[in-house]
Structures are given as C-alpha cells and as structure tokens.
Amino acid sequence: MATRKPKANDDNTRLIGYARVSTHEQSLDLQLDALRAEGVHADNLHSEHVSAVSARRPKLELALKDARSGDTFVVWKLDRLGRTVFDLLKKVEDMERRGVKFRSITDVIDTSTAAGKAMFGMLAVMAQFERDQIVERTLAGMKAARERGRLPGKPSKLSKTQWAQAERMLAKKTVAEVAAHFKVTTATVYNRFDAAALEKLRDKR
C-alpha cells in the first residue's frame, strides 16, 4: 500500500505558500496547484506578478511577515524566494531565527530535516564563494585602473558641504528624493552611502 503524503505539518501548524511569475502573460496555475497539493490552505496562499530582478515584492514581504514560529514557508522552486544565492540564504536564515521552517517543492528541500539543513549549509558556502568572487573582480579592476594611471571612480559631483546636507536629508527622505534635490543620479548617492550607512540613517527617522 502506498504511503499517503501528508497535507499539513504534523504539529498542525500552518503552511504559508508563495508563488511568483515575472509577467501578467505568464500563469501562476502550475505553482498554485503544487502549493495546494502540498497542503497550503487557500487563506495562506500569496502570489504576484513581478520580475525576478525587482527588489520590491510586496506579496512576498507580506507572506514572510505572515509566517510565525512553527509555521513552514513553502515555494514551488528556490528561485521564487530569492533573486540571488545571497538573497535566498538571507531570507531562509531570517526564517530560521524566527522559528519558521522552509520547504521548496521542486528542489525537494525541507529545513525541518537533517538533509535540508545540510543543503542550506552548502548554499552558505556558495554564497561566500560568490561574495569572494565579486570582491576579487573588484580589486582586480581597481588594480588594472591604477596601472593605467586611472584612479577608480569619478570626481565627486557634490561638495563636502552638499554631502553633509545630503546625509542629513537621508535621515528623513528617500535616496530618489535626495538625488533629485541635488540633480544627481541615485547611483551617485548609493556610491557615497552604502546599505549599512543608509540603514543607520533610516534608524534616525
């Protein structure tokens, strides 16, 4: 006799499902059907049409916030959750800290199992390798530029006084608003203030 596949967590905690496709021309049906077959209740299904390169995924953010300790977050495939290995790992690690388990149907990964945890240990190694490669390429590019007599980067478009003003503004305004005020690109502002610096400034809001 075949063993019946469980349709929910053994401890009756919830399964939170998330599905995504890149365009409105693509169908969510395949993913949604798989999530329902896995045991995700309709009330706990979150889906959206948004590009894989988009940093803003409102429905994913809502689904992650909805997941509570003991719940299991379920996706059809790993790339539905993260844009990069870094992004994926960060989200799963955050779930683990909150007591939320993670399951990917197609990839047969479940962090509630020893095998699933081992798989994510491998992902952590891959993420570190990816980061090391980025740093290595950046340093190599800077060295090549110096050897050609070109220092990396361009002269600052704003004065020290303007940068100080921009820093104060970033505690209250968005990067786009500050960039528009000084008539520079958002990339110029991001080059001056990295993610950690911006986070500290936003904490002051």
pLDDT tens string 34-90: 999 999 999 999 999 988 777 789 999 999 999 999 999 999 998 898 877 778 888
Is residue 74 within 8 Å of 17, Cβ to Cβ? yes
Is residue 72 within 8 Å of 10, Cβ to Cβ? no
State the average pLDDT for the chain: 82
The single residue of 22, 51, 69, 156 carrying the catalytic annotation is: 22
Dist. CA 13–CA 106, nearest whole Å: 22
Asked whether the predicted pLDDT for residue 195 surpasses 80, the reply is no
Q: What is the pLDDT of residue 151?
A: 47
Q: What is the pLDDT of residue 101?
A: 94
Active site residue 156: no
pTM: 0.58
At residue 190, what are phi and psi to the nearest 5 degrees?
-65, -35
* Between residues 139 and 165, the one the model is more confident about: 165
Q: What is the pLDDT of residue 28?
A: 93
How are beta strands 72-75 and 109-110 bridged, if at all? unpaired
So what's the architecture of 15-120 in CATH? 3-Layer(aba) Sandwich (3.40)
Dist. CA 52–CA 22, nearest whole Å: 6
Amino acid at 155: P
Q: What is the pLDDT of residue 3?
A: 37
Indicate the domain borders of the chain.
Answer: 15-120, 160-203
Q: What is the pLDDT of residue 176?
A: 87
Q: What is the pLDDT of residue 120?
A: 73
